Structure 1
Amino acid sequence: MSETKVFLLPDLGEGLTEAELVNWLVSVGDEIHVDQPIAEVETAKSMVEVPSPYAGRVAELHGEPGQTLDVGKPLISVTPLDTLGETRIPPVEPAVNETRLVEPVEAPVETKRVEAKAAAETYREEEKAGSGNVLIGYGTPGGHGQARRTRPRRSTFPSLGGPAPLVEPAETKGPEAKFTTAADDRLLSRTRVPGKLGAVISPLVRRMAKEHGVDLGHLQGSGESGLIMRRDVEAAINPLVEPVETKPSWADEPVEAAIKPLVEPVETASGPQVEPVETSGRPIDPRTGLSIASRTPVRGVRKAVAANMTRSRTEIPEATVWVDVDATALVEMRSALKKAQPHDTPGLLAFIARFVTAGLKKYPELNTRIVTAEDTSGGEQQEIVAFDGVNVGFAAQTDRGLVVPSVRRADKLSARELDSEIKRLTSVAREGKATPAELGGGTFTLNNYGVFGVDGSAAIINYPEVAILGVGRIIDKPWVVNGELAVRKVTELTLTFDHRVCDGGTAAGFLRYVADAIENPGSVLADM
């Protein structure tokens, strides 16, 4: 019996079901210790280093760089070492009587229980040797000595996001029928007995099954160890329809008539044939007739952005208001501060973020979120959830695509503190090191598309938020000041908002507040 431990790819946060293997940080044969980074993986949220919960020698790497791995699939196999640093010798198993080599086809119910409970106990013992290091959704209890409290599982069909039953309960009597606790269920889902236990890891799969009335308890998973995948639920929703065999119209005709050509060949004059336009050997697109230069899978950040933007445009009835703003006073104020303190002057975006947090205190409807909750009659109703605080997200363009890191409790920070946090988050986002927590949790998004040299944009709301403010480039424009024409620093502010949470008056009031703050920054900052 081998003692090699197999580490499964953990849930890296927010219900993500897959990750792309970017780079291995160890090789087969290397000795590793607990919490040592073993691989870099890229999810739809960020790039993270995955630490090992085991110490020992690397026995196998499950996957190649560039491959997409599912959560719950093997990532690395590690063989433990003894105190002398040598590989442990597995104990010799007793000889098996040849008369008992044939297992019965159907094991008794009690045997299944013993196997399941033993699997859970084995996993629990392995977890005790861990370090307690937690990486967004998984960890080991050894670091703090306390097991996490779990809620008891309800016997009814699981709600959205809840745990799915692993094994159908058997007809038993007495207290032994309740030997499996919610914690055991979670452990069993990560130590499945091949061919005997099924599991649902993805909350998206559970939600899809619930919405279409698919009973997961009777569904055979096609994944490893019976793991129920999205394709299994889709197959249950749309079962394949066998084609109905039909009799061709020419079946009753004589063989001679069937093989007779319908159109007699016509003799044509020989001449030069028209060659296809594309002769590069690449596949031809049937719609355009052009050769296909490349195919790029939509994954990682681009996949997440596409899904988020699609959901935003599908679910949110958005509206847009905009206004031109004279930013001359703000630009001049920052220039004066820069002369006095060259190395500690906030950027213009930090000042605007400060004005945004103040504006959201006056117009809190734009700092909310719409959720679907259960009403008293058991049905569903929409609720507007307001927040005690503001997390300002800002769009940052990186090599991996557009990401939106958020400044937590931005309403408590000064302009200098906002500027420092914006710079820090921009740096880690462009390095691909931002955590899912840093890339999520925003309540309002600020988008500075002026850095791309454009004046305005009807931005898409960063779902599930309800508003986004865009800032265009600041350029010299003719502007009327005190009845006379002058050249001023002008920018355009664009606010896109969810019309379900407020009307145009609220949106216009917020936008006008931010615009007035930009035009008179000194008085507004003095009141904050």
Structure 2
Amino acid sequence: MEVDSPVSGTVLEIFFQTGDEVHALTNIAAVGELGENASNLRPENMRPGNSGLLVKRITATDNGIEVPVESRAVNSWSMVEGVSRQSDLNFSISPRAEALATKSGIDTSGIQGTGPNGRVMEKDVQFAFLNRQPVTPLARTVAAEQNLIVPAYGSGIGGRVTLDGLESGIALPEAMPPAGKHRRAIPFQGIRKIIAERMLNSVRSTTRFTLNASADARSLLSLCQRLKENSELQQITINDLILFLVSRVLIGYPQLNALFTNNSISWSKQVNLGFAVDTERGLLVPVIKNAEDLSLEEMSQEARRLSFACLEGEVSPDDLIGGTFTVTNLGALGIESFTPILNVPQVGILGIGNINLKPVEVNGKIEFVSHIGLSLTVNRQTVEDSPAARFLCAFSQQISKIDSVVDITENLSMSNKEFKIPQCKE
């Protein structure tokens, strides 16, 4: 992500390397006059080093262009490693986190804090509590010494793993061989690491339930052909039509347009629609805000703007937050159906499959009709089977007649007031 410099001056020091994880509100570089001392701007949890970083002269401009003037090696700092948390004078923990740790019997010395300067927050303790393994101290020691896998559950009280439970344990596999001629090591960091953590958290914290269906796609394909023949509207894609229709159908099913946090369900009156974008750095989910108020043409323009920003690595953090429902489309890759992973705290995500021929009985005869695959995953903790099925049913029915739902002769300016909220016809 590029950040424009708000001031003009010389880059005196860069405190982090590309790919380093940095907490919010932490200084990442110092800008001033050549020869000025920047030591007071260095993050507290760093030590001196020498990475040969370059000094650059930059000028604050509207487009953030850097203008190099001169270069020389300067001292850099790197993160302190191998410091015991208990003996670290800078170790910090929030009062709420400390209270929860005491109540839950959690040792905070091994917790990696996610707050400013490594501060341990309440959510860090909660994560440690949910992922701790109930095992006796002796069993833990033996497992470490003999390199054994500790079972998820034991025969002790409350599923506690005892020494006897390790007898059938399996030795951990040897470490992966180092990168060489036939193997390339790829650092697991940055966006990739964040995505992995969020996916794991989604699976652990939700009760996923997926419904699969298909919808008659003849009307959808017909409308797409009409759009391609219109020079002003030919950039509108099938995915744009899907997003547009989802934003309208969701209004009638608030159970799915909701967030589930801290044992509280929050139904949203606005449809902030996220959609998955595949980038080289990983999967990003930009959000179309107030999607229910946009015309199809406006929806298409916003989706195109956000997609381009994601692909170019220029998407704003504000465009990646606030979603209430998500759509992910794998149809272009030939996937018929799949299990979309919830983007927590959202409670619903719709997966779009490819369009293929499906046998259908028409007047006593079998015809092959184009159908589009649909996969809806919901959090069964908050969304029951029937509302989820009705939403998918209503969406399928609207797909099957979308050429009558969207009137391109009126410049695609249909508003919610002109759109009758669909209900599933059973």
TM-score w.r.t. length of structure 2: 0.63
Match 2:230 to one of 322, 334, 340: 340
The CA distance in 2 between the partners of 1:302 and 1:489, in whole Å, is: 36
8 Å CA contact 2:358–2:370 kept in 1: the answer is: yes
The equivalent residue for 2:196 is 306
The question of 1:439 aligning with 2:320 is answered: yes
The equivalent residue for 1:407 is 288
Match 2:15 to one of 40, 54, 62: 62
For 1:370, the aligned partner's letter is F
The CA distance in 1 between the partners of 2:205 and 2:402, in whole Å, is: 36
The CA distance in 2 between the partners of 1:76 and 1:446, in whole Å, is: 38
For 2:306, the aligned partner's letter is L
What SS does the aligned partner of 1:434 have? coil
The equivalent residue for 1:386 is 267
For 2:247, the aligned partner's letter is T
Residue by residue over 1:121-144, the C-alpha shift from the partner in whole angstroms, topping out at 9 and shown as x without a partner, is xxxxxxxxxx9x9xxxxxxxxxxx
Q: How does 1:418-457 map to 2 (within 5 A)?
A: 418-457=299-338
What SS does the aligned partner of 2:16 have? coil
8 Å CA contact 1:345–1:416 kept in 2: the answer is: no
The question of 1:481 aligning with 2:365 is answered: no
8 Å CA contact 2:213–2:373 kept in 1: the answer is: yes
For 1:359, the aligned partner's letter is V
Residue by residue over 1:207-239, the C-alpha shift from the partner in whole angstroms, topping out at 9 and shown as x without a partner, is 65443139xxx99xx99xx955459x99x999x
Aligned-pair distance for 1:417?
1.2
The CA distance in 1 between the partners of 2:333 and 2:361, in whole Å, is: 27
What SS does the aligned partner of 2:244 have? helix
Q: Closer, same or farther in 2 for the Cα pair 1:521/1:315, shift >3 Å?
A: same
The equivalent residue for 1:211 is 100
The CA distance in 2 between the partners of 1:466 and 1:316, in whole Å, is: 9
Q: How does 1:237-248 map to 2 (within 5 A)?
A: none
Residue by residue over 1:394-421, the C-alpha shift from the partner in whole angstroms, topping out at 9 and shown as x without a partner, is 0110000011111010000111111111
Aligned-pair distance for 1:457?
0.4
Q: Closer, same or farther in 2 for the Cα pair 1:476/1:424, shift >3 Å?
A: same
For 2:3, the aligned partner's letter is E
The question of 1:51 aligning with 2:2 is answered: no
The CA distance in 2 between the partners of 1:76 and 1:371, in whole Å, is: 36
What SS does the aligned partner of 1:324 have? strand
The CA distance in 2 between the partners of 1:88 and 1:309, in whole Å, is: 45
8 Å CA contact 1:319–1:496 kept in 2: the answer is: yes
Q: Closer, same or farther in 2 for the Cα pair 1:230/1:410, shift >3 Å?
A: same
Aligned-pair distance for 1:299?
1.4
What SS does the aligned partner of 1:463 have? coil
Q: Closer, same or farther in 2 for the Cα pair 1:487/1:501, shift >3 Å?
A: same
The equivalent residue for 1:370 is 260
Aligned-pair distance for 1:499?
1.4
Aligned-pair distance for 1:343?
4.7
Q: Closer, same or farther in 2 for the Cα pair 1:483/1:518, shift >3 Å?
A: farther
What SS does the aligned partner of 1:438 have? helix
Report how many residues are paired. Answer: 310
For 1:510, the aligned partner's letter is F
Identity of aligned residues (%): 28
Aligned-pair distance for 1:508?
0.7
8 Å CA contact 1:469–1:496 kept in 2: the answer is: yes
The CA distance in 2 between the partners of 1:484 and 1:499, in whole Å, is: 39
For 1:57, the aligned partner's letter is T
For 1:465, the aligned partner's letter is Q
Aligned-pair distance for 1:452?
1.8
The equivalent residue for 2:149 is none
What SS does the aligned partner of 2:224 have? helix
The CA distance in 1 between the partners of 2:36 and 2:320, in whole Å, is: 43
The equivalent residue for 1:359 is 249
Q: How does 1:154-233 map to 2 (within 5 A)?
A: 208-213=97-102, 227=117, 229-230=119-120
Q: How does 1:124-139 map to 2 (within 5 A)?
A: none
Q: How does 1:248-287 map to 2 (within 5 A)?
A: 287=173
Q: Closer, same or farther in 2 for the Cα pair 1:417/1:483, shift >3 Å?
A: farther
The question of 1:461 aligning with 2:342 is answered: yes
The CA distance in 2 between the partners of 1:289 and 1:302, in whole Å, is: 22
8 Å CA contact 1:334–1:345 kept in 2: the answer is: no
For 2:374, the aligned partner's letter is L
Aligned-pair distance for 1:71?
4.4
Aligned-pair distance for 1:477?
3.4
Aligned-pair distance for 1:206?
6.9
The CA distance in 1 between the partners of 2:309 and 2:266, in whole Å, is: 30
Residue by residue over 1:15-40, the C-alpha shift from the partner in whole angstroms, topping out at 9 and shown as x without a partner, is xxxxxxxxxxxxxxxxxxxxxxxxxx
The question of 1:492 aligning with 2:381 is answered: no
Q: Closer, same or farther in 2 for the Cα pair 1:496/1:50, shift >3 Å?
A: same
The equivalent residue for 1:508 is 389
The CA distance in 2 between the partners of 1:461 and 1:69, in whole Å, is: 26
Q: Closer, same or farther in 2 for the Cα pair 1:387/1:290, shift >3 Å?
A: closer
Q: Closer, same or farther in 2 for the Cα pair 1:309/1:289, shift >3 Å?
A: closer
The CA distance in 2 between the partners of 1:319 and 1:442, in whole Å, is: 20
TM-score w.r.t. length of structure 1: 0.52
What SS does the aligned partner of 1:49 have? coil
Aligned-pair distance for 1:48?
3.6
What SS does the aligned partner of 1:321 have? strand
Q: Closer, same or farther in 2 for the Cα pair 1:522/1:426, shift >3 Å?
A: same
Structure showing greater Rg: 1
Residue by residue over 1:131-161, the C-alpha shift from the partner in whole angstroms, topping out at 9 and shown as x without a partner, is 9x9xxxxxxxxxxxxxxxxxxxxxxxxxxxx
For 2:193, the aligned partner's letter is K
What SS does the aligned partner of 1:320 have? strand
What SS does the aligned partner of 1:212 have? helix
For 1:332, the aligned partner's letter is S
Match 1:76 to one of 29, 47, 50: 29
8 Å CA contact 1:344–1:416 kept in 2: the answer is: no
The CA distance in 1 between the partners of 2:268 and 2:119, in whole Å, is: 36
For 1:486, the aligned partner's letter is E
Unaligned ranges ≥5, structure 2: 38-59, 63-88, 138-170, 408-417, 420-426
What SS does the aligned partner of 1:365 have? coil
Match 2:210 to one of 305, 311, 320: 320
